[in-house]
Structure 1
Amino acid sequence: MRAFLAVFILCAAFLALVATARAEDPIDTTRAMIEAQIKAFLNDDVDAAYSYAAPGIKAIYPDKNVFFAMVKKSYEPVYHPGNYAFGRSRSIDNGAMIYHEVLISGRDGKDWTAIYQIARQPDGSYKINGVHIVPNTESKGI
């Protein structure tokens, strides 16, 4: 009976360790951050959307309202997507830099691909370091 209890405790500890490691996966963490920023844009929540920007972006746009206006003007598919889904992701240098491909259907019916560059900060958190959007001209539709 004691052996069974010891094996049970070891298995439970292992599962907890695996769950913790999975929860801290940089791909999952940064994907959730992108989704949170998109939701902030959809809700016109300037403070929340700006909070995900990396220090380099904040240096270019020190005023959160100017940042928000820039996103509205130049990144409309990201600002108010019709639908979106994550494509490929890549972790560079053991999670120091993460790239996410986000496939977006704009509200105007056009398809876009957004490539997010996420940088790990000195404190271990992640921030969005830039987004490059391109029209998806190869979409075949459904």
Structure 2
Amino acid sequence: MRALVLAAVMAAGLAGQAVAQEGDIAATIRGQMDAFLAEDPARAFTYASPGIQGLFGTPDNFARMVRDGYPMVWRPDDVRFGPLRQVDGAQLQSVYVTDADGRAHLLEYRMEQIDGRWRIAGVRLLQAPEASV
């Protein structure tokens, strides 16, 4: 009986950690999108992982890539978070974005935790689900 109670308490604790992690990851992604909306590339760059920062070098280079390659992230009209998955040790967050023209996009954010803070290590555009009639 004691083992069952201990298992239930541990499961509840792990579930609470998972919910907190999802919230922190969503806050990181939203924070970067808010920075893009405010046209603050320096702040948006702080949400990127060191690998991404090294790849682009400057906040302006990074902002140019996002603006040109991911306009739905640069100017999202609506953002909704899908499931968070762990694959080969990486945290992958699905994000549904509607752009200013009403088109739906599905993105997958690869997240890294560095010094206790979540950072964006990559974004991949996936095929958006078909709209239902």
Do both share a fold (TM > 0.5)? yes
Give TM-score, length-normalised by structure 2.
0.79
Give TM-score, length-normalised by structure 1.
0.75
The reply on whether 1:99 has 2:92 as its aligned counterpart is: yes
1:91, CA displacement in angstroms?
3.8
Task: Give the aligned residue type for 1:61.
Answer: F
Q: Which residue of structure 1 lines up, in the alignment, with residue 59 of structure 2?
A: 64
User: Number of aligned pairs?
Assistant: 119
Deviations 1:2-31 (A, max 9, x none): xxxxxxxxxxxxxxxx7xx65982221111
The reply on whether 1:119 has 2:120 as its aligned counterpart is: no
1:107, CA displacement in angstroms?
0.7
Q: Which residue of structure 2 lines up, in the alignment, with residue 79 of structure 1?
A: 74
Calculate percent identity across the aligned residue pairs.
Answer: 29
Deviations 1:61-110 (A, max 9, x none): 011101000100000011111111111112457xx632111111111121
Secondary structure of 2:39 counterpart: coil
Q: What are the ranges of 5 or more consecutive residues in structure 1 without an aligned counterpart?
A: 1-17
CA distance in 2, matches of 1:126, 1:74: 23
Misfit runs of 4+, over 4 Å = 21-24
CA RMSD of aligned residues (A): 2.1
Q: How does 1:1-142 map to 2 (within 5 A)?
A: 25-91=20-86, 97-121=90-114, 123-136=115-128, 138-140=130-132
Task: Give the aligned residue type for 1:140.
Answer: S
CA distance in 2, matches of 1:139, 1:27: 26
